[in-house]
């Protein structure tokens, strides 16, 4: 009985220490728990962990019959004008790619998109190929230098998120927006530079076959994080979805 009592006291003392550490080190809480809750499951692919959800560019949303239609979810998004961009910087969301199970999130996204073709040197993808979503081109890479030219795009640009609600959110939520695999795609560098921080009203992929999933993914991210859309943006998304009324949201 005394042994059990001592064990109980030890457990309670440990919990108190953890609570004190979290309270005095909020950044540690943010990094550790965001990683566990928001990143781990997304990378549990059939290859890595025997199942799980894929947020890759090739994850056709019609495959999930239980997901709601993007047209329906779009109606839940608040419609408002842009807030001022004042105070925006990427550091308001995150400062560099975090580590996921010992590997950079950038390398995780590259591996996700390259799939079985990915050639790894430790954590780094040094060769492979994939169907680039924004241009529709099939791209092959034979060296780490070539792979380095692939950019990881925030489908909902961080500046756009900032002007549509994120600036009023806790920094831990902004961190999730910036590092959520749902909001990340490996894409062609020039296409990504052309997109810049545009929303659907100002930029759409030249690959018309991907536009339905592209706007559905934006709806998915904005719904997940309670970001709003402008009236022009909503109209642009609606026009795209007219061509694919059964397109489903992704990851929700």
Which pLDDT value is given to residue 60? Answer: 54
pLDDT digits (tens, 9 = 90+) for 31-85: 333 343 444 445 543 333 233 467 888 765 555 778 899 999 999 999 999 999 9
Which pLDDT value is given to residue 62? Answer: 56
Q: Out of 7-11, 46-50, 148-152, which region has the weakest mean confidence (pLDDT)?
A: 46-50
Mean pLDDT of 133-141: 98
Which pLDDT value is given to residue 61? Answer: 52
Which pLDDT value is given to residue 64? Answer: 72
- Is the pLDDT at 214 greater than 60? The verdict is yes
- Among candidate residues 152, 154, 170, 163, the one with its CA nearest the CA of residue 88: 163
């Amino acid at each position: 009985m005394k042994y059990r009592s001592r064990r109980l006291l030890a457990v309670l003392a440990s919990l108190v220490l953890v609570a004190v550490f979290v309270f005095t080190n909020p950044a540690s809480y943010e990094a550790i728990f965001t990683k566990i809750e928001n990143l781990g499951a997304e990378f549990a692919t059939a290859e890595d962990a025997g199942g799980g959800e894929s947020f890759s560019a090739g994850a056709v949303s019609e495959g999930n019959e239980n997901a709601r239609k993007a047209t329906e979810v779009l109606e839940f998004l608040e419609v408002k004008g842009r807030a001022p961009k004042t105070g925006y910087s990427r550091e308001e969301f995150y400062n560099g790619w975090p580590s996921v199970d010992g590997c950079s999130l950038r390398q995780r996204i590259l591996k996700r998109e390259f799939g079985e073709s990915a050639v790894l040197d430790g954590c780094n993808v040094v060769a492979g190929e994939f169907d680039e979503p924004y241009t529709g081109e099939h791209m092959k890479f034979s060296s780490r230098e070539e792979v380095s030219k692939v950019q990881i795009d925030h489908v909902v640009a961080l500046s756009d998120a900032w002007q549509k609600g994120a600036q009023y959110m806790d920094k831990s939520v902004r961190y999730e927006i910036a590092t959520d695999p749902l909001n990340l795609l490996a894409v062609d560098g020039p296409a990504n530079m052309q997109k810049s921080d545009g929303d659907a009203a100002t930029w759409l992929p030249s690959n018309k076959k991907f536009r339905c999933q592209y706007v559905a993914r934006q709806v998915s991210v904005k719904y997940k994080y309670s970001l709003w859309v402008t009236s022009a943006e909503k109209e642009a998304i609606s026009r795209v979805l007219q061509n694919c009324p059964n397109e489903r949201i992704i990851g929700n």
